Structure formats: structure tokens, C-alpha cells
A and B are shown apart, each in its own frame.
Chain A
């Protein structure tokens, strides 16, 4: 096939395979299925829907947030057992009597318990490195499983039977074909709110968790809170699935809530693909069908009964992780060419109101000051008694040979690191004990020496992350998309800053596809989006071409004119000398010179540091 026909066929299939069309088709299939399919298939579809709801939470947690949990089955169990207890027990304790054994009270209780457990587990594991959450959830999953098995009021290992069926608007959902609609409606709502959430200010913060936490904190994102949010959401999805399961089966026992099921949920997410909400549905479907099929097939081949499908699943996951970490959905997504991918959620409205601006300090005011800053790493003194001042409306360059301690100094100034002695003052306040997030909120914004952006997110969204602190709408409005007005304002600001730095043509490109120099410029736009009064730039000109450097210099000059205080660490002397107001030169952790560019160029100590002494 030549390229022309390839293109035209792709366009044609694209029209047909438009996400909205696909979704409509899917909806029709889902609506009709229980009318035409045999009961057995409907039961299977019910299970797939219930599983997909749990797996959706894992997609959010694992695929988006880069964390994982093996305890989702236990949350399902909590949801199921809560309602089983409330709706079947003969003697409700007095304080629960008002619930009258209603399944809705069971749902409420399940959600409350789940939220409490998730908050506790999250509080003790999410601040630690990535391994503690999965290990903690394994322990939680096992403990709850044994607890269900030992509680005689819950029927021990035999379980509880005789749960009532649900009824909505007077319709009794007592058959698989009826509750089917409830299960799939809940799933559809869950998918919708997950997608909404991810396409929002809160969602960008969540998407930064995987590989961008340091950067996100510098943009004012509370990463611990974001982690907690998705862990909580995933637990709540699981609990709702458990509640539905209990009233579908009308019987609960501990078996489906054990750790092995927790592992199965994770496998579903991985096989479907954790990168997309649709992966949840695909994974739950594929794994459920595959399990049915293997459970019939393998005992015949191997000649004895047993759960041999675990061998296949285990190996399948290993191969997937080695070859296709994006799962089935990742494979399918590759079939859609990048330029046809949908950006409908990122429409920009130029009429949106401007975001309020911070009041900048008056030109010449002292904004950032290092007082006798010393930083020691063991015996190495990286910064020794460093002093420097930065004023509003000034560009200050920090230069020095490699290993002079510039980056360490930069980290002290931006509160990523804490000085051993001395202190940094920003707007008159000491930064001692302040996190980089708090410093960002005070009006300091920065770029990174090694570019830190989210390569698979669009340029526009990467930059909008910088404006995180300037929005205030939380998770619930985001999930319901009630924050569209604020979102438009944030995106408009991001677009404005991108146009300002000259990246206006790349709004919808993936940030990772930009050249390195452009990525550095993107970081500047992101920093500007935070509406800072101090801008710290770590080697902004590295990797830029001549014209780009000139454009950057023009931009920085303009920002200076507006009253911004700018500090840059830079190696490119041509760039520095023509642009900055003052220069501080470091060598071996100490300041060896400070002054106007012309003075520095002729300063003997500086010449010796750079060119070597006359020996």
C-alpha cells in the first residue's frame, strides 16, 4: 500500500472509529445485551461490570498515580459485608435501628468504613517510598480475610445468606437481567467521573505523581493529598462494587475477598492496560472470559483438577510487563495515529476571564537573600558562607566553573535543601523548615537543570500544572466538571504563557516530543504560569540555538521590566554578559567575586578560576 491510500484509509476508519461513535455503539450493545443474551452470559456480564468497577480504581491508582494496592478485594469485602450485616441481622444495635435494615444504609456504612480504613492506611504508607503501600495493603487484605472468617456473627467461613434484593423507584432488582442495568449504569458513571477528574486541575496534579513528584511540589501541588485522593477513590469504587455484588448474589462469604482476588484485580488492570479508563473494562472482560475458558481446558490437558489457570495468568503478566507494559489498551491505542487523537477535553475559550495577578514588589526591593549559607555533605563543604541578594526588577547570574557549588546553592535558595548553617530569606521571611511547596506559594518559581516534565502529557497541560496554585476547585467539582470556568481560565493562562515564550504552535504536542531546548523554554512558561515574583532558572540557555537564545534574552528583559526578580545559573557567558545586571561568581563553594558584568570580565580572581593561574 502506498502512503496516499494508507492516509485515506486511516481517515476513513477514523471517522468511523471516532471515540464518540465507538462509545455510542458500546452503549447500544450494553443496553441490548440482557434482552438477547442467555442468563449465563448476563451473569458473566454482571461479574465483568462489578470487576471493572474495582479495576477502574486500580487504573487510577497504578496507571495514573504509579502506586499499587493488593487490598482492593478487601475493600470490596468491606462494602459487601457492611450491607450483609445491616440487612440480615435480627437485632440491630439501637443506634443503628433507624436504618431499618435498608440496603442504602448498608451502602452508607460500607462507604464510611472503607473511607476510614483507606484514610488510615494511606496516612501510614503514602508518605513513605513506593513499596510500603503495596506491602501494607497485602497485610490489610490478609487480615480482613481472616477477620471475616473468624467472626461468628458473620457466619464465619460459611458466610451470610438471605440478603434482600435492591429496589429502585419501586422496581425490584431481583434478577440478574435487572440488576445488570444498575451495575453498568454505576460503572458508566464511575468511568465518566474518572475521566472528568483526570481532565482537570486536580487531575493534572494526580497525573504528575508518576515520575514528577519533585516538580509538582515545586509547582505548589500537595502530592501527599493527591495520592490520598486516588487511593480513597479506588477504595470507594471497590466498596460500591462490593455492595452491588452482595445484593446481586444475595449471599456473601470470605472467599471472593481474599488476597488472591486482590491480585486478580491487579492482573485485570495490567492486562487491560493501566494507561486508560477503558483498559479497566477490557481487562476485566478478557481475564474473566479467559479464566472460564482455562478452567475448562487446563484440567483436561493436565489430567487433574486444580487452579492451573494461575500459571497461565502469572506468565502472561510477566510477558506483558516485559513486552507490552501498556497492556491490551496500549496495543490498541497504537493503531490510532497520533494526529487523530481526541483533544476535545482541552478546548480553549479565549473569552475566559484572566486569572488575578499577584502584586509584584516595587523595583529595587530586596526579595531574596542568602545570609552566610553553608551546606556541608559530610566532610565536603559545598557552600561556604555564601551571601547574595536579589532585588525586584533585576537579573542576577550565578556563575562558576563545574563543581563550584552553584546547584547546591540553587537548592538552598529554592528550599529543596536546607542549609547546615545560615539562612535564606524570601520576602523578609526565613525559609527554614519550609517545604518547596510552601515556597512556591510564597511566589518563587523555578526551572530544573535536568528538565522535569511529564512527557506523555500535552505541552498545554504541562504548563497549566504551573498554575495549580491559582485555582481552588477541588476533587468533587472536578469529577462533576463543575469547575469548567476556572479550568478555562487556567488553560487560557497556560496558552498565554506558551505564546509568550514562543511555543504557541505546540499546544497539543506531547511534551516529550519537543527538542531539549524547547523543553527548557516550556519549563519557563510553566514557572511563569505560577505568577511568581522571583524566577529561579537553572541553565535556561543550555541546548538553545542562537535565535532561541536571543528570544529568551528578550523575554527575560521584558520580565525584568515588569518588576520580576530573576536569578539564573548559567554557563553560556555570551548569553549572561549581554543580559544580566549583576553577577556572582563562585568557586569551591565560596563567592570569589560579585559585580557588574564588565567588572567580572576583568576581575583577576575570576580569570584565574576560569583560565587557571600563571604558574
Chain B
């Protein structure tokens, strides 16, 4: 390997690593607030990328029908749950939800999708995808908010499995790749920098900083952190666990979709590519001990780099190398952990 190749691999590694870091952070966020290991995060990535691809091809993304179906079920459940105490506000909320979905469908059916500037295409994708997060929490996890962690994990896997099937149904078996945001290539000394790489890194850094500010500086961010520290305590202080769950899922959907939009110009994604991508985020999260955000981010970038370099040296063993990365961390953690605890 010469320096040139190392630079290219390093660039690839950091690009993927930045994405894994974003995913690792949302995994940690969802886990600490809701105790759910969000396996279906990868499906937000692929659904986002494939929706963006459909929009760029001028096709109305079939995702709109999934959004409509889930929203209808959600509204139905709301009506049933509050059937004895329906008031104007409840109807207003339901009306708003339905209105939003109908507006989205109308936009998609009428706008000249392929001709839109890329920013609007991305915004449209996000507008379609992000509501799926809270909907997913409402339909699948909210009824189980107090269930043992094991049950939440199982439901998480089940939702992932179902979503992969839905992905095949909505997007078909073909892979898709989108246009890069910009085509420019920069030369820095001996290095060729693709502008999409810069985009990925820039957006990831901005997002991580924004998340940090959100959690350190805003009331809602603090409320979510409080829920992460102590659910019962937060509830007693008037922070609704339902709100916390929906908010974190919305955030996870946002980050997942954005990651999908960011990498779609670099890698071809298929309906079932999401799992492996999110698992690499999990490897990062495990390195962070499922607690530490900075460690998880660093771990995730390391995963990206190791993946890129093992592609060069032992491409067939790439996945094996990446997933056995967690072993030293597991060993280290088991050696330092002593206490016996009852799972809730």
C-alpha cells in the first residue's frame, strides 16, 4: 500500500465512519431514553435513500402510502383510546395529522419531482420519513413502555423484520444510487477530495454539534436527558414518557433518513442494506458501553476506518473483522464489571 491508497482508504473510512457515528449517537439516544435498542434504524437509512432516489427519478415514492396507512391506524387508535373523553383538542390533533399526510400526498402527486432543486428533494424526503419515527413508537413500542428490556429488544427485531419486507414491497428488489450533491473534486496536495465526502463530514459534524447544543441548552433536550437518567423521576416532574419516546424516535428517524440521503450518492443501497449499516452503528455504541456518546462516536469512526482498510487487505473478511471488533471491548467490560443486578 502506498500513501496515495492510504489516503483514499482513509477518506472512505472517515466518510462511512461519520455516518456510523451519527447512527451510533441516535442508537444511544433512543436506548438511554426508552431502553429500546433501535434495530430498525437501518431501515430509516435505506428508506430515506430509496425515497430520495425515487424522487430524483420523478417517481412518486410509494412511501407515501405507508405513511398514510400508519397515520390512519394511529388516528384510529387515538379515537378508540379517547372514545369517552373526546374533545375539540383531540379532534384538532387528529385533523392536523391527517391534514399533514394529505398535504404531503398532494405535494408528491402534483410537484415536478425530478426537476426540483436537490435541497427540496431532500426536504421532501425528510418530511415523508420523519413522521414514521413517532408513528413507529406509538404503534409498536408505546403499549410496551413498561415491558422488560428483553421484550423491547424482541419487538425491535420484529419491527425490523417487518420493515425489510415492507421495503421490498415499496421499493422493489433493485438497488438505487442518487446524484451527488455537487460534482466538484478538490485537490489538496497529493489528495483528491470528493465533494460528497466533504458534505457527509460537514453535515455529520454540524448535526453532532447541534445535538450537543440541543441537549445541553434547551429545555426539551434537558427533559429528554432527565428521562434518560430516571424515567420515574422525570414522570413525576411532569415530563411525559410518551412525549420523550416520540421525540427521540422522531430524532432517530431524522438522523437515519439524513444519513441515507448523505450516503446514497456514494453507495448503492438495496431494501435490505439497512441492517448491516445500523449494526455497524451498534458496534460503535457497544464500544461506547451503551452509555458514552463521545466514546461511541470515536468507536464508530474507528469502525469506518477499519472497514475501509480491511477492504484493501482482506476484502472477503471485511464484515468478519468489523464485527469481531466488539470482542476486545466485551472482554474489557466483563473484566471490570462485578455486580449482579436484577433486570427490570
Using a CB–CB distance below 8 Å, which chain A residues touch chain B?
Answer: 62, 66-68, 70, 123-132, 134-136, 138-140, 142-143, 146-147, 150, 210-214, 217, 223, 259-260, 263, 266-267, 270, 302, 304, 306-315, 317-318, 321-322, 325, 435-436
By a CB distance below 8 angstroms, the chain A residues around B334 are: 123-128
A311-B342 in contact (CB<8A): no
Q: Which residue of A lies closest to B163 (CB)?
A: A314
A318 and B158 contact, CB distance less than 8 A: yes
B184 at the interface (CB under 8 A from A): no
Distance in Å: Cβ of A564 to nearest Cβ of chain B: 27
- A267 contact set on B, CB distance < 8 A: 158, 161
Flag if A308 contacts B149 (CB, 8 Å): no
Interface residues of B in 174-226 (CB under 8 A from A): none
- Report yes or no: A266 in contact with B330, Cβ–Cβ below 8 A: no
* A147→B343 CA distance, assembly (Å): 34
Once the chains bind, are B340 and A147 in contact (CB under 8 Å)?
no
Task: Given contact pairs A260-B161, A322-B143, enumerate 11 new A-B contacts (beta carbons under 8 Å).
Answer: A128-B334, A130-B150, A135-B282, A138-B279, A150-B316, A212-B342, A214-B340, A267-B161, A314-B161, A314-B162, A317-B155
| A317, B330: Cβ atoms closer than 8 Å | no
**Cα of A135 to Cα of B278 in the assembled complex, Å:** 12
Chain A residues whose CB sits within 8 angstroms of the CB of B343 once the complex forms: 66, 129-130, 210-211, 213
The answer for the CA separation of A267 and B37 in the assembled complex, in Å, is: 18
Q: Does residue B309 face the partner (Cβ distance < 8 Å to A)?
A: no
Query: With a CB–CB cut-off of 8 A, which chain A residues contact B165?
Result: 306-312, 314
Min distance, Cβ B54 to any Cβ of chain A, angstroms: 17
Is B108 an interface position by the 8 A CB rule? no
Which residues of B in the span 110-165 have a Cβ within 8 Å of any Cβ on A? 140, 143-144, 147-151, 153-155, 157-165
Tell me whether B86 is interfacial, beta carbon within 8 Å. Answer: no
* A142 & B279 in contact (Cβ 8 Å cutoff): yes
Which listed residue, A123, A135, A143, A317, touches B154 by the CB 8 Å rule? A317
B286 within 8 A of A: yes
Please state if B150 and A66 are interface contacts (CB–CB under 8 Å). Answer: yes
Residue of A135, A143, A321 touching B158 (CB-CB under 8 A)? A321
Given A310-B161, A314-B162, residue A266 in contact with residue B154 (CB < 8 A): yes
A292 vs chain B, min Cβ distance (A): 17
Distance, CA A210 to CA B149, complexed state (A) = 12
Whether the pair B326, A139 counts as a contact (CB closer than 8 A) is: yes
The answer to whether the Cβ of B169 comes within 8 Å of any Cβ in the partner chain is: yes
Selected contact of B342 from candidates A62, A142, A214, A308, CB within 8 Å: A214
Known: A143-B319, A211-B342, A310-B165. A134 touches B153 (CB 8 A): yes
Which of A70, A139, A263, A302 contacts B169 (CB under 8 A)? A302
Q: Does B87 contact A (CB under 8 A)?
A: no
Bound CA–CA A302/B316 (angstroms):
36
Indicate if B283 sits at the interface (CB-CB under 8 A). yes
Instruction: Give the top 5 A-B pairs by smallest Cβ distance, nearest first.
Output: A314-B162, A311-B165, A317-B158, A310-B165, A139-B323
**B154 CB contacts on chain A under 8 angstroms:** 68, 266, 270, 317, 321
Known: A308-B165, A308-B169, A321-B144. Is A128-B158 also a contact (CB below 8 A)? no
Number of A-B contacts (CB under 8 A): 146
- CB of B173 to closest CB in A, whole Å: 7
| Smallest Cβ-Cβ distance to A452: which chain B residue | B342
Query: In the complex, what distance in Å separates the CA atom of A312 from the CA atom of B163?
Result: 10
Inside 8 A of A308's CB, which chain B residues have their CB? 165, 168-169
Least CB separation from A150: chain B residue: B316
Q: State the Cβ distance, B284 to closest chain A Cβ, in Å.
A: 12
Contact yes or no, A217 B330, CB < 8 A: no
Grouping DSSP codes into helix (H, G, I), strand (E, B) and loop, the A interface class, with mixed when no group exceeds half, is helix
Q: Are B324 and A143 in contact (CB under 8 A)?
A: yes
Chain A residues contacting B90 (CB-CB under 8 Å) are none
Binary flags per residue of B317-335, CB closer than 8 Å to A gives 1, else 0: 1011001101100110110
Contacts of B341 in A (CB 8 A): 129, 213-214
Which one, A128, A131, A260, contacts B337 given CB within 8 A? Answer: A128
Of chain B, the residue at the smallest CB distance from A134 is: B153
Query: Which residues does chain A contribute within 8 Å of B153, judged by CB atoms?
Result: 68, 131, 134
The reply on B290 being an interface residue by CB < 8 A is yes
Contacts known (A223-B340, A302-B169, A314-B162); A263 close to B150, Cβ less than 8 A? no
Chain A residues, Cβ within 8 Å of B148: 66
Closest to B318 in A: A146
Contact (Cβ within 8 A) B158 A62: no
Nearest chain A CB to B335 CB, angstrom units: 9
**7 A-B Cβ contacts within 8 A?**
A70-B157, A130-B149, A142-B279, A308-B165, A311-B169, A317-B161, A318-B159
Residues on B with beta carbons closer than 8 Å to the beta carbon of A302 = 169
Residue of B150, B169, B276 touching A68 (CB-CB under 8 A): B150
A322 to B147, CA, bound (A): 9
- Which chain B residue lies CB-closest to A260? B161
Say yes or no: is B166 at the interface (Cβ < 8 Å to chain A): yes
Residues of B within 8 A of A321 (CB): 144, 147, 151, 154-155, 158
- In the complex, the answer to whether A325 meets B163 with C-beta atoms within 8 Å is no
**A321 and B157 alpha carbons, distance in the complex (Å):** 12
Q: Which residues of A contact B150 (CB under 8 A)?
A: 62, 66-68, 130
Alpha-carbon distance between A211 and B340 when the two chains are bound, in angstroms: 11
How far, in whole Å, are A123 and B333 apart by their CA atoms in the complex?
A: 11
A143-B169 in contact given A314-B160, A318-B158 (Cβ < 8 Å)? no
Q: How far is the CA of A123 from the CA of B331 in the complex (A)?
A: 8
Which B residues are CB-close (under 8 A) to A68?
A: 150, 153-154
Name B60-77 residues within 8 Å CB distance of A: none
- Decide if B327 touches A318 in the complex (CB within 8 Å): no
A436 to B165, CA, bound (A): 48
Alpha-carbon separation in the docked complex, A86 to B254 (Å): 51
B28 to chain A, nearest CB (A): 12
Given the known interface contacts A212-B342, A314-B160, the answer about A127 and B149 at a Cβ–Cβ threshold of 8 Å is: no
> Which residue in A62, A124, A313, A435 is a CB contact (below 8 Å) of B162?
A313
A294 CB, min distance to chain B CBs, angstroms: 11
Closest to A216 in B: B340
B143 contact set on A, CB distance < 8 A: 322
| CA gap between A459 and B144 in the complex, in Å | 30
Q: B337 contacts which chain A residues (CB < 8 A)?
A: 127-128
* Residue from A124, A143, A322, A325 within 8 A of B330 (CB atoms): A124
B144: chain A residues within 8 A (beta carbon): 321-322
CA distance A331 to B189 in the complex (A): 70
Q: Output the nearest chain A residue to B285 by Cβ-Cβ distance.
A: A135
Determine whether the beta carbon of B169 is less than 8 Å from that of A306.
Answer: yes
Contact B159 A150 (CB under 8 A): no
Chain A residues with CB under 8 A of B316: 146, 150
Q: With A124-B334, A313-B161, A314-B160 as known contacts, state yes or no: A213 contacts B323, CB within 8 Å.
A: no
Residues of chain B contacted by A270 (CB below 8 angstroms): 154
Give the Cβ gap from B46 to chain A, nearest Cβ, in Å. Answer: 15
Q: Which residue of B lies closest to A437 (CB)?
A: B340
Q: CB distance A325 to B151 under 8 Å? A: yes
Chain A nearest CB, measured from B333 CB (Å): 6
